[in-house]
């Protein structure tokens, strides 16, 4: 697919690829390298969950926040001890190739389509496929993360389902995380796809409305996966297991359910670990 106009620089989003987790693990045995999607970081959830874990266990958690695609690339090189991802098809391939083990459901929320309040493409309330077709037909700007993240992967799936190839001038790629992409969509008065958690955490400064939501194709699940210690003997397997067990524990799942609920009137994430597997 031909790429549309790019907005911003990819340098910041690519910097984490230069970190070497194996050397960190070798030099700092008390360190856990957690590779996570930017949406979890941008929503502020890790700032709520990680410090209590560090305090109670003595581990230090080094967080690398990138898109799910980049996170799995780091995982394929053994540069992460634990991963939080939201790209189910890619996750299953990652496990089948032997790079990860012990995939467990963590939480979910939903994707939504945002756009300018006057909705120039008239997508409000439409099914996702019709909404994407309307955006393409009118040529109103659409801002994509364009970074191989779980959000980007889902967005491309939705374009394919709509029968539209978004390789036109109106399609802009940022190569950045969700928070930065929301700001750019706001500045360009553009449409975009985002997870609801990141949106609620940033919405005060945005003049964008939720125009499409509730479609089953917008379900957004997150899983936690440990690096395979048989393939990567240098990873902190004990630390990864401890952190994974902590994240899916009843106490932390309750914290996830309550995270910023009082502020927004709804949970940014819905816990899944106690309810069984969801894909």
pLDDT, tens digit, 9 for 90 and up, residues 148-159: 888 999 999 999
Q: Helix (H) and strand (E) counts for the chain?
A: 13, 11
Which pLDDT belongs to residue 149?
Answer: 87
Which pLDDT belongs to residue 197?
Answer: 86
Tokens representing residue 63 in the block: 């967080």
Contact 78, 21 (CB under 8 A): yes
Interval 228-277: pLDDT, tens: 999 999 999 999 999 999 999 999 999 999 998 888 888 889 999 987 54
Residue 13 has pLDDT above 70, yes or no: no
Predicted confidence band of residue 95 (pLDDT cuts 50, 70, 90):
very high
Contact 42, 178 (CB under 8 A): yes
The CA distance from 138 to 111, in Å, is 22
Which pLDDT belongs to residue 224?
Answer: 98
Predicted confidence band of residue 22 (pLDDT cuts 50, 70, 90):
very low
Across 191-203, average pLDDT: 88
Q: Which of 52, 185, 183, 66 is nearest to 116 (CA)?
A: 185
Which pLDDT belongs to residue 79?
Answer: 95
Q: Which of 181, 137, 180, 186 is nearest to 155 (CA)?
A: 181
The CA distance from 44 to 50, in Å, is 11
Domains contained in the chain, CATH given: 15-108+220-271 (3.40.190.10), 111-218 (3.40.190.10)
Across 13-41, average pLDDT: 64
Residue bearing tokens 């967005």:
155
What's this model's pTM, rounded to 2 decimal places?
0.81
Residue 85 has pLDDT above 50, yes or no: yes
Which pLDDT belongs to residue 41?
Answer: 87
Tokens representing residue 185 in the block: 């969509």
Which pLDDT belongs to residue 91?
Answer: 96
């Amino acid at each position: 697919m031909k790429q549309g106009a790019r907005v911003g620089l990819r340098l910041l989003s690519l910097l984490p690829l230069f970190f070497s987790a194996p050397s960190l693990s070798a030099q700092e045995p008390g360190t856990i390298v957690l590779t996570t999607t930017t949406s979890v970081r941008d929503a502020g959830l890790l700032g709520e969950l990680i410090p209590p874990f560090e305090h109670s266990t003595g581990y230090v958690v080094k967080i690398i926040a990138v898109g799910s695609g980049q996170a799995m690339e780091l995982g394929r090189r053994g540069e992460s001890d634990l991963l939080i991802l939201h790209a189910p098809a890619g996750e299953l391939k990652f496990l089948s190739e032997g790079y990860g083990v012990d995939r467990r459901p963590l939480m979910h929320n939903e994707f939504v389509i945002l756009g300018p309040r006057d909705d120039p493409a008239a997508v409000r309330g439409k099914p996702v496929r019709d909404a994407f077709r309307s955006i393409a037909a009118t040529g109103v700007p659409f801002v994509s993360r364009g970074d191989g993240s779980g959000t980007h992967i889902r967005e491309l799936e939705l374009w394919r389902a709509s029968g539209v190839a978004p390789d036109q001038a109106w399609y802009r790629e940022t190569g950045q995380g969700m928070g930065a992409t929301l700001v750019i969509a706001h500045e360009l008065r553009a449409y975009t796809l985002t997870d609801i958690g990141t949106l609620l955490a940033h919405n005060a400064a945005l003049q964008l409305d939720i125009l499409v939501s509730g479609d089953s194709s917008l379900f957004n699940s997150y899983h936690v996966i440990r690096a395979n210690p048989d393939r990567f003997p240098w990873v902190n397997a004990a630390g990864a297991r401890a952190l994974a067990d902590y994240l899916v524990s009843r106490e932390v799942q309750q914290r996830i359910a309550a995270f910023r609920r009082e502020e927004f009137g709804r949970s940014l994430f819905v816990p899944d670990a106690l309810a069984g597997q969801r894909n």
